[in-house]
Amino acid sequence: MQLHEFVIVFGVFMLILAQIPSFHSLRHINLVSLLLCLSYSACAAAGSIHAGTNAPQRDYSRPGNGQDRLFGALNAIAIIATTYGNGIIPEIQATAAPPVTGKMFKGLCLCYAVVVTTFFSVAISGYWAFGNRAQGYVLANFDLEDGTTLVPKWFLAMTTLLTLLQLAAVGVVRITPTGSFHV
């Protein structure tokens, strides 16, 4: 499939999903999104662990001094937590019945627990498997330069599909509030 064909198919798919009537009805998509996130994170971590047994030579050294590494790690944690952890806050606020204070705190704790579980499991297993040569997109690590893969191709295709569906779910959640303000 060519890139422009994929963009058209995905755009039509997003157009169909964008017809969901209200923001409140997105709770089902949020649940599916959570399950997809857990699924592809588990697949990426399992793939990294499987590939780690057959991966090329690894180098675990980290360049820079201690201060640069500390601030780099804190910056990465902040980016991950704010980018992926705050997407659920509007849904929690919209569905929580009074008193909101305790429920919001529990919801945020659950949200950040999912973020920590999914992203750090992938980060730790990916770093273990590939060292400092790990690429930013974890699935790209499974393809070797000679065209072979470190995991079965069906596993790579399944994980890519889960990632694509997750992106569609997140896209629908993000575009629906802007569309609901139009009369």
The residue ranges of every structural domain in the chain are 24-54+63-175
Burial (CB < 10 A; 0-12, 13-18, 19+), residue 173, is buried
Give residue 75's pLDDT: 87
Which of the residue ranges 70-84, 96-110, 133-147 would you say has the lowest mean pLDDT? 96-110
Q: What's residue 155's pLDDT?
A: 94
pLDDT of residue 33: 81
Peptide bond into 99 cis (omega under 30): yes
**Least confident among 18-27, 104-113, 125-134:** 18-27
- Predicted pLDDT of residue 45: 93
CA distance linking residue 131 with residue 62, whole number of Å = 9
- Please give the mean pLDDT across all residues of the chain: 79
Report pLDDT for 179.
47
Give the end-to-end CA distance of the chain in Å, rounded to a whole number.
38
- pTM beyond 0.75: the answer is no
Q: Are 155 and 43 in contact (CB under 8 A)?
A: yes
Cα gap 170→177, rounded to integer Å: 12
Residue with tokens 């893969």: 149
* Token representation of residue 110: 């659950």
Q: What is the pLDDT of residues 127-169, one digit of tens each?
A: 899 888 888 888 888 888 888 888 999 999 999 999 888 888 8
Residue 129 burial (10 A CB sphere; 0-12, 13-18, 19+): buried
Nearest to 55 by CA among 134, 123, 122: 134
| Most confident segment among 1-5, 53-57, 73-77 | 1-5
Single-letter amino acid, residue 28: H
Please, what is the Cα angle at 173 between 169 and 176, to 5 degrees?
130
Please give the pLDDT value at position 183.
45
Give residue 51's Cα distance to chain centre. 20
Give me the helix-helix angle, 153-180 and 3-17, nearest 10°: 50
Q: What are the CB-based long-range contacts (under 8 Å, 24+) for 134-137?
A: none
pLDDT at 117: 84
∠ CA 61-51-81, nearest 5°, is: 65
